[in-house]
Structure 1
Amino acid sequence: MAASPLLDKPWRELQWGEKEKELQYVKEYKPEIEDIKHLRVLMFGHVGAGKSSFINSVSNVLRGRMSIPALTSATTSDRSFTIKYETYKIQLGRGTSKTFLPLVFNDVMGLEEGNHSGIHASDIKLAMKGHVKEGHKFNPVGPLTKDDFGYNPNPSLNDKVHVLVCVMSANAPEIKDSVLQKMKEVRETASKLDIPQMAMMTHIDAACGEIEKDVKNVYRSKHLQKKMKDFSAAVGIPMNCIFPVKNYSEEINMKNDVDILILSALRKMVDFGDDFIEKHLN
């Protein structure tokens, strides 16, 4: 008899029925320091990892409906869809009651093999320190320098990154050594700056048929657990800082189980970022 692809018990507990509580926690968050208007999350990862799709999915969950704030590629091509440094704000409410969540996302061009394709690790390092201007167009041929128009010489506390998130597709082939090297470079810089780091594993339903059948199998899937452990070992991010998520892509209606996985990752971003702001920017 073939061994089951599922563990008898989930290896991580998740409160599937507490969506409203998690939603309220994220929606009510405000940075305690007056000079900081929002907590800034920087997403990076290999091409096609699903960074922009995650930002879309967060907007869907927090607004309680499908919305389109960040354009994404319709195909998992080998070229990065994101070419500019843009800040994505999450709108809550409509009309006169419209507000923005004090949590913003920055998405950068995907990491690729070679020195003349994808984003340069040095550009991500500059973004972390707040030196990349809004709208700067990334150049795969040459990294941003102090003489470029897109360089911000005097970043404010709001320009700086408060949480770094590495995004990895569970369905992608093994990451090439040159891309792993770039990821490590970025992580080392974040460590020196004391910026908290976490990782997200996307496309979990495409990677595992049991998760595709039922998202609640996420922490029982032997295949996904191994993928996460391998990724943790390769990139050096601890398992308790890696979160599997399913982005909204084909659905036209919201699903509670998908939402709770996204909120689980989002809550950690808020907590990690808030701790950083409290400790280093106060």
Structure 2
Amino acid sequence: MEKRKLGYSTFRIQRENPETFYPFVFNDIMGLSQQKGVLVDDVKLALSGHVKEGYLFNPESKLPEENEFYNKSPTVNDKVHVLVCIVPADTLSSMRDETVQKIRDIRLEASRLGIPQVAVLTKADLVCPEIKRDLKNVYRSKYMKEKMEQFSANVGIPMNCIFPVKNYHEEIDLSYDTDALILSTLRRLINHGDDFINRKAA
């Protein structure tokens, strides 16, 4: 199970037809803040498309070029089009300085490559009673705005690229407000990816 967490995984969203998928994928990398998290150098390699799916990250050393999972000739489909930083909103206050620095280092590399960067703050309802009472308050909450501003200042991601969402964690039924917030965020991520591809093609 632990190895699976360390692996570089690709996720696709299926359309109504079981044989077809939407034309985008998500690549997942284990967190930076864990005691033995992924190395910043390996994230930078992934941004450029040099990491093949299934690679098990080594917390002690970066992926070497001679490794079978090193992609020496990445295509445009192998490269990252949007860097998404997922952070639980209830951990923002306790985020360690070294984690912040890692995010900044990765973000700067993404900027060098022209890759847009966004952040998704999960568990927004757990940090503010206003939001817990009514999810429509997520962008009206002063407390949440302060947390977003602090995170923006710390890591350099602009406020208009930080999206708070609510997780499904104990609910049995789907919620329109929860889905609307998640889908709105997903649409923004796709738009950023489209912009990146269009700029590269121009």
TM-score (norm 1): 0.68
How does 1:11-30 map onto structure 2 within 5 Å?
none
More relative contact order, 1 or 2 (CA 8 Å, 6+ apart): 1
The reply on whether 1:183 has 2:103 as its aligned counterpart is yes
Equivalent AA in structure 1 for residue 48 of structure 2: K
State the Cα deviation string for residues 133-157 of structure 1 (Å, max 9, x = none).
1100011111112122221111111
**Distance in 1 (alpha carbons) for counterparts of 2:98 and 2:4:** 20
Report the counterpart of residue 179 of structure 2 in structure 1: 259
Paired position in structure 1 for 2:45: 126
Paired with 2:37 and 2:102, the residues of 1 have a C-alpha distance of 11
Give the drift of 1:211: 1.2
Aligned residues: 201
Q: Partners of 1:220 and 1:132 in 2: how far apart?
A: 40
CA shift for structure 1 position 207: 1.1
Aligned to 2:85: 166
- 1:184-223 to 2 correspondence within 5 Å? 184-223=104-143
1:62 corresponds in structure 2 to none
C-alpha distance in structure 2 between counterparts of 1:279 and 1:81, whole Å: 35
Among all aligned residue pairs of Structure 1 and Structure 2, give the percentage whose two residues are the same amino acid: 50
Report the Cα offset of residue 81 of structure 1: 7.3
Verify: 1:272 aligned to 2:171, yes or no.
Answer: no
CA RMSD in angstroms comes to: 1.9
Aligned to 2:33: 112
- Specify the alignment match of 2:6 in structure 1: 83
| Residues 11 and 27, structure 2, Cα contact 8 Å, conserved in 1 | yes
Q: Which runs of 5+ in 1 are unaligned?
A: 1-70, 72-78
Q: Distance in 1 between matches of 2:145 and 2:5?
A: 29
Distance 1:80 1:190, change over 3 A: farther
CA distance in 2, matches of 1:251, 1:163: 30
Distance 1:110 1:243 in 2: 18
Could you say which residue in structure 2 is the equivalent of 1:100?
Answer: 21
**1:91-149, CA deviations, whole angstroms, 9 ceiling, x for partnerless residues?**
11145xx42011110110110277xx200011111001000011000111111121222
In the alignment, the residues of structure 2 paired with residue 180 and residue 280 of structure 1 have an alpha-carbon distance, to the nearest angstrom, of 29
1:156-213 per-residue CA deviation (whole Å, 9 max, x = no partner) reads 1110111111112110142111111111110010000000111111111111122112
In structure 1, give the amino acid aligned to 2:95: I
Contact 2:3-2:56 at 8 Å conserved across structures? no
> CA 1:215–1:126 in 2, change beyond 3 Å: closer, same or farther?
same
Bigger Rg over Cα = 1
Residue type at the aligned position of 1:198 = V
1:60-104 deviation per Cα after TM superposition (whole angstroms, max 9, x unaligned): xxxxxxxxxxx9xxxxxxx99721101100011145xx4201111
- The residue identity in structure 1 corresponding to 2:161 is C
Q: Which has the higher helix share?
A: 2
